[in-house]
Structure 1
Amino acid sequence: MAQSNLFSLAGKKGLVVGIANDQSIAWGCAKAFHQMGAELAITYLNEKADRFVRPLAEEVKSSIYVPLDLLKEGELEAVFAQIKEKWGRLDFLVHAVAFAAREDLHGRLVDSSAKGFSLAMDISCHSFVRMAKLAEPLMDKGGSLVTLSKLTYYGSQKVVLNYGLMGPVKAALESVTKYMAAELGQKKIRVNAISAGAIATRAASGISGFSDLQKNYAEKSPYPELSSQDDVGALAAYLVSDVAKTVTGGIHYVDAGFNVVAP
């Protein structure tokens, strides 16, 4: 039997937004994409982040490496302008960014300010919409948009202590995924979200009591092993591949089955 090349990403060009260091979920995705032959564009937040992200970008031979602070006007547009100039198209993108001010993340939702709520929604949710709009004209032959969100399931559908306003924001992100899948489907642009389990990342360290949450995952998950960045990367690679050409609008769990277990 001839060897199947169904899962190859050779010839595909993708953008990965949200790598902070080698513990990032987005890094697990970038590694998988590279191993399967994709050419990557990678962004970094600022000069402070550059020293952590640049070696990773070099490891996967990223051909586009640019700064991206979503709060700086014009930077997102500049990323896509460079992709258009260098590649002329985009096959997939991964959105893996989230932010909430510490007082809003650790405080009660009812105490959150309008400014803090809007900021969390803009960075963590609406930025995915902005990226989709910029990606659309570069995906004239179809493409795949994936958002990665730690604790999406747990925080959007269940109340997580010390998660503050991020729960409602994650719920909005899941809804955005479904609506954009419906709107972009006729152009063969697929939109999916990956709901990762309790994976230790820099962002997770900002959640009070995260170690207890991780312990709860380990004790209750059907599968006796916690999910890793590489596990998420494997699913992301599938979702952006041609094998998943009719998979869209889904919230896909990589959490060792925790989402099916009663609290």
Structure 2
Amino acid sequence: MLYPIELRALIARSEERKGRSVAKPARRRDHGARKPVDGPRKPPSAAFRGTLSHPRPGGIESPTAGAPTEARNRIMGFMDGKRGLIVGIANERSFAYSIAESLHREGAECLFTHLPGDKMERRVRRSIDALGIEDPWLRPLNAASDEDIESVFKEIGEEFGKIDFLVHSIAYADKDWLQPGKFASTPREVFTQAMDISAYTYAAMANHAAPLMTEGGSMIALSYYGAEKAVPGYNVMGVAKAALEATTRYLALELGEKNVRVNCISGGPLRTMSAMAVGGFGEILDWVEQKAPLKRNIEGREVGDCAAFLLSGLASGMTGQCIYVDSGYATVGL
């Protein structure tokens, strides 16, 4: 088994082979800085100090070997020096929040958007503050507007020059039509809007994000099992998620030659604000808990950690994939 610090050593070696120095983490801007910790930092335990000083299995050295003392005392995350945009934080229960939490923990600098309006800005800002991020880069974005999408990425390019990752975690369908027995009668405008916000925007954002990934990069979107199987009440959202997964594959094919990877995560049911709009959602949670191999529903952090993995160099050979984080539910015939 490779421990986290050994995985980081592998990343360091990979980066060196690509000709990019990893001796010093990239200079971070003020946006997304960690809040200072009150009081003196606790020294590492004797057991942990041993993991830094003893040889690694198979001859793998510590990624901080030979570095100055202050660098050795700082534990590097596997997203150190990486910067990217997260679209879709609604509150602290959303998948996007869990993804931001994992990325921030691993050292990434996260940029954010919110739906237009003071109320939405305050809500998202509270969530970001709960992550311990000071002075966040936060801009309004109406994903249904091509002008808004272009403007956000233009501003990112002008201020930062490049990014390394994109998280697409938005979807929408009129909740009145997310009820069992109300799919065939879905109005054209409801169907079109669901496809536009939930699937098309991934391609639209990728089109603007890819040119900013000048050293390669990674993108992820969030899907659900209803894209593959008919889930009662999921209706037009299931069709939109199926389109999102197909969009992932076509983006991966087109952007691969630019060293940009594109994947999606199919997360199990979670009590998010959008999920609660689906009719019978409580029954879905109960069913998964009974039938999934792990006999439980997932936690948001599990999707967050998978996302951090996919966006990092640890997943450098993965693109065009839909990864299930659902307690194994998608593998059983129930």
Same fold (TM over 0.5): yes
Alignment of 1:1-263 (within 5 A): 1=56, 2-3=61-62, 8-46=78-116, 47-58=118-129, 59-61=132-134, 63-106=136-179, 108-149=182-223, 152-153=224-225, 155-263=226-334
Q: How many residues align?
A: 260
- In structure 1, distance between residues paired with 2:265 and 2:210: 20
Q: Distance in 2 between matches of 1:177 and 1:147?
A: 8
Deviates more, 1:191-200 or 1:51-60: 51-60
List per-residue Cα deviations over 1:222-244 (Å, max 9, x = no partner): 11332111000000000010111
Identity, % of aligned pairs? 39
CA contact (8 A) 2:168 2:202 kept: yes
SS in 2 for 1:15: strand
Matched AA of 1:9: M
**1:11 CA drift (Å):** 0.6
Counterpart CA distance in 2 for 1:116 and 1:225 is: 33
Q: Distance in 2 between matches of 1:21 and 1:28?
A: 10
Q: Which amino acid aligns with 1:37?
A: G
- For residue 191 of structure 1, report the CA deviation from its aligned partner: 0.4
Report the Cα offset of residue 48 of structure 1.
Answer: 2.1
Higher relative contact order (CA 8 A, sep 6+): 1
Deviates more, 1:217-226 or 1:91-100: 217-226
Q: Which amino acid aligns with 1:196?
A: G
**One-letter amino acid matched to 1:146:** I
RMSD: 1.6
Larger Rg: 2
**Alpha-carbon contact 1:39-1:63 (below 8 Å) kept:** no
Query: Could you tell me how far apart the structure 1 residues matched to 2:162 and 2:317 are?
Result: 21
Is contact 2:178-2:279 (8 Å) kept? no
Q: Give, in whole Å, the separation in 1 of the partners of 2:237 and 2:126.
A: 30
Shift of 1:71: 2.5
1:128: how far off? 0.2
Query: What are structure 2's unaligned runs of at least 5 residues?
Result: 1-55, 65-75
Conserved? CA contact 2:102–2:308, under 8 Å:
yes
Counterpart residue identity of residue 182, structure 1: L
1-structure distance, mates of 2:310, 2:134: 22
- The one-letter code sitting in structure 2 at the alignment partner of 1:141 is E
Q: Which amino acid aligns with 1:3?
A: S
List runs of 5+ in structure 1 lacking aligned partners.
none
How far does the alpha carbon of each residue in 1:17-65 deviate from its partner, in whole angstroms, 9 at most, with x for none? 0000000010000011101111111111132222221022233336411
Q: Is the 8 A contact 1:42 1:62 kept in 2?
A: no
